[in-house]
Copies of this chain bind each other. A is one copy, B any other.
Amino acid sequence: MAQPLRIGKAAKATGLTVDTIRFYQKAGLLKPPARSAGGYRVFTGIEIDELQFIRKAQDLGFSLAEIKELMHLRGQNGQACPEVREIIKRRLATVRAKINALQHLEAELGQALRTCSRAIRAGAHGEPCPVIEQIQSTKKRSRHDH
């Protein structure tokens, strides 16, 4: 299966940049990877997985500090000691709270969408729609739209 990659390929494989990967290493999110004879970082499949996990957790709104913790939990999946279980419990609670809040927002947005569709069907052309100007500025892409 997948042979070890150097940082450039690892970056392409994960959708991160080489700078970001090096930054994550400095920040202690990755254990220092092996080096080739010439001093190049060498990433194995496991390390690629870890990078992808970081990216995913980040999209979910976790800070790097939190992700660092999550990585530990992930690494020693159920490897005893009650303190670890407590951390997992706390994380689980915050994740559930987040899901809940997002479901509320989903309901609100869904409601707005229906009201909006109904208005369009009814042919409401009265209002000036001051949002159009806002739409323009929406077109700038965000960090994750590669």
Contact = CB atoms under 8 A, between A and B. Distances in A.
A28 to B, nearest CB: 11
Contact of A106 (B84, B92, B127): B92
B127 A79 contact: yes
Chain A, interface residues (CB within 8 Å), range = 35 or more
Given A101-B60, A102-B99, A109 B124 contact: no
A130 B98 CA distance: 28
Contacts of A95: 102, 105-106, 109
A83 B129 contact: yes
30 contacts: A56-B105, A60-B98, A60-B101, A69-B134, A72-B131, A72-B134, A73-B112, A73-B131, A74-B108, A76-B130, A77-B112, A78-B112, A78-B114, A78-B116, A78-B118, A79-B119, A79-B129, A80-B119, A80-B125, A80-B126, A80-B127, A80-B129, A84-B116, A87-B134, A87-B135, A89-B113, A92-B106, A92-B110, A99-B102, A99-B106
